[in-house]
Structure 1
Amino acid sequence: MKKVLVANLTAKKAVKYLEEKGFEVIISDQASDDDFLSHTDVDGILIMMHPFGESLMAKMPNLKVIARHGVGYDNVDLAAAAKHDIVVTNTPGANATAVAETAIMHMLMAGRLYYQRRELLTDATNAAYLSAHNGQEISGKTVGIIGFGHIGQNIDRLLTGFDVNVLAYARHSHEVVNGRMATLDEIYEQSDFIVTALPATPETTHMINADVFSKMKSSAVLVNIGRGALIDEAALIDALKNDVIAGAGLDVVEHEPISADNPLLQLPNAFVTPHVAMISQEAMDNVAIKAAEDIVRVLSGGQPRFPVN
């Protein structure tokens, strides 16, 4: 019987699906390398965020497929996987609605300073700042969306009721429900809200930097539900401290999990959540089932639906 190692947060529906297909399912915390090295004979892995590279792959001779629970796969070494003939897959679109809803929430929270106003009930630290900053509404504004795949298009769709003008950027042209495709400079210079929804690649790392902040409106709110590496965090902190931009809503940061002493957690114009955009019951079920289906395809001798490498 072939074995599949899955993270302990994997939806029960996916575990049941794998078992019904005849696989032995091993559930692990996937919190350290040892959680993988305790099961070196597995044939497949349904992986979440733990880094997985050459040192682990070399010790797993039976491993044929690594299915990433989500869209981003920057924690998996693709070159090492190719070297060991391991197929890597992901699950595009499976959590797009959950992440898009989170983007809207961050626009509201960072734009209107709701979290900081809630804190006033027990902590007056930001009272002076809040008395001088009223925040801004989304309605009627220009929203730039950088990255217009499943998530970006869902954000555009969800914004319909806000009567916004959407400027969307992607490598390929798409229909934009509430606006049009645009250049990056158009987005930086014209947007009241900017949402980044891209993966981390050598080309996108620190694409939002000090030079870009200087192009933005001083009233702009930046929301990142892509990857923390997209933004030069030091430049962002400087921009927020010096009112170069008005605010930021971040579900991701450069180094995760975020440390308690990260300045972003102390700034009155930043709202941070701990990489939870993809977490909803529906999304967790959809992502896990798609990942499990590709594991079954590969281990049954077929081709995956969503190959990465």
Structure 2
Amino acid sequence: MPLIFVTSPIHEQVLQALGTYGEVRLGYGEHAVNYDAIAHDVDAVFLRGGHMTAERIAASPRLKIIARHGAGYDNVDTLAAAEHGIWVTNTPGANCRSVVEHVFALLLAISRQLITAAQQTRDGNWARDRLALSGIELEGRTLGLIGFGNIGQHVAPVAEAFGMKVVFTDPAFDTRHDARWVDLDTLLATADVVSLHVPLLPGTRHLLGATEFDKMKPGAVLINTSRGGVVDEGALSDALRSGRLAGAGVDVLDAENVDMIDPFKHNTLAVADLPNLIVTPHVAGQTDESLLRVGMSAVEAIAAVLRGQAPAHPVNQPVAALQRQA
């Protein structure tokens, strides 16, 4: 029976479904198993948190697939996997609606000062300087989307329903035929809100830094639900502290790539002392509905590969695996 390793907690229905395709070992909970102790026997990895490094991959001679629970796969060495004939898959679009709603949860929380207002009320300061808690309306504002893939395209109509104007740019492909396309400099100079929807790649690391923040419209807001490394977090701290940016809402930190357990050990974003910053712990795509959709998509990928078939959403091309199926 194939051995399937699950790195982090997943939806209970997904876990049950996974058990129909092999013996499941968990890397979390009361009976957690260390992956390195069973690497030589593992056939499939259901990867949510943690990393699959080249070293771990090389130590896994039976491994056939690393199925990512989510769209991003920067925590997998995809080249090493391909060299060892191992599929790497993701689940594009499965958590799209959840991320879209979280974008606006962050934006509304910033624009209406919800965190500060709720905390003052909790502290018993109902009437203390309510004028200072005045917010701004989204109607008539311009939303600039950096990245216009699946999530960006779903953010746009929600913003338009709020009465916002939407412009976008995308470093991955040229969409100048669309009337809403602008170059990056124009987007930064004109957008009241900038929202990031790009993967973390060598070409997108620190896509926004001090130079780009200086080009942004004074008093703009930044939303990042993509990957922390897309933003130079030290420069973001400076822009927030100086008032160049009115606020930022981020669901991701660059240090997650260093330490998934305690990214604050390596954090360069001044989370604790910036009142105009909201940070959530990488939960934009995490709703009960999306966890089920994303998880079942990963299960389907594992099932296909264990049957000797190509998965639906590969992010690499393992030559040896393709040769075995030919």
TM-score higher than 0.5: yes
Alpha-carbon distance, 1:206 to partner: 0.5
Q: Which residue of 1 aligns with 2:43?
A: 43
Question: After the TM superposition, which of the residue ranges 106-115 and 217-226 deviates more from structure 2?
Answer: 106-115
Q: Which residue of 1 aligns with 2:22?
A: 23
For 2:290, what is the secondary structure of its paired residue? helix
Aligned residue identity for 1:259: F
Task: Give the total of aligned pairs.
Answer: 305
1:94-142 deviations in whole A, cap 9, x for unaligned? Answer: 10110111001111112222112222235699x9998657332212210
Aligned residue identity for 1:112: R
Structure 2 unmatched runs, 5+: 257-261, 317-326
Q: Tell me the C-alpha RMSD between the 2 structures.
A: 2.7
Asked if the contact 2:8/2:48 (under 8 Å) is kept, the reply is no
1:186-234 deviations in whole A, cap 9, x for unaligned? Answer: 2101000110011111111111011101111112000000000011011
* Percentage identity across paired residues of the two chains: 37
For 2:222, what is the secondary structure of its paired residue? strand
Q: Which residue of 1 aligns with 2:324?
A: none
Question: After the TM superposition, which of the residue ranges 254-263 and 288-297 deviates more from structure 2?
Answer: 254-263
Q: Which residue of 2 aligns with 1:61?
A: 61
Aligned 1:68-79 pairs, distance under 5 A: 68-79=68-79
Q: Which residue of 1 aligns with 2:253?
A: 253
Asked if the contact 2:8/2:47 (under 8 Å) is kept, the reply is no
1:162-198 deviations in whole A, cap 9, x for unaligned? Answer: 1111001223366999x71221112101000110011
2:270 paired with 1:263: yes
Aligned residue identity for 1:277: A
Asked if the contact 1:156/1:176 (under 8 Å) is kept, the reply is no
1:145-171 deviations in whole A, cap 9, x for unaligned? Answer: 111111111111222321111001223
Asked if the contact 1:265/1:272 (under 8 Å) is kept, the reply is no
Q: Structure 2 vs 1, CA of residues 214 and 296 (structure 1 numbering), >3 Å: closer, same or farther? A: same
For 2:61, what is the secondary structure of its paired residue? coil
1:12-49 deviations in whole A, cap 9, x for unaligned? Answer: 232332333x422222229xx97211322110011012
Once residues 128 and 252 of structure 2 are traced to their aligned partners in structure 1, the CA distance between those partners, rounded to angstroms, is 28
Structure 1 unmatched runs, 5+: none
Once residues 128 and 93 of structure 2 are traced to their aligned partners in structure 1, the CA distance between those partners, rounded to angstroms, is 42
Once residues 6 and 55 of structure 1 are traced to their aligned partners in structure 2, the CA distance between those partners, rounded to angstroms, is 18
Question: After the TM superposition, which of the residue ranges 138-147 and 168-177 deviates more from structure 2?
Answer: 168-177
Once residues 228 and 10 of structure 2 are traced to their aligned partners in structure 1, the CA distance between those partners, rounded to angstroms, is 23
Asked if the contact 1:168/1:176 (under 8 Å) is kept, the reply is no
For 1:4, what is the secondary structure of its paired residue? strand
1:273-295 deviations in whole A, cap 9, x for unaligned? Answer: 11110110111011111111111
Once residues 235 and 146 of structure 1 are traced to their aligned partners in structure 2, the CA distance between those partners, rounded to angstroms, is 18
1:28-75 deviations in whole A, cap 9, x for unaligned? Answer: 229xx9721132211001101201112211221100100011011111
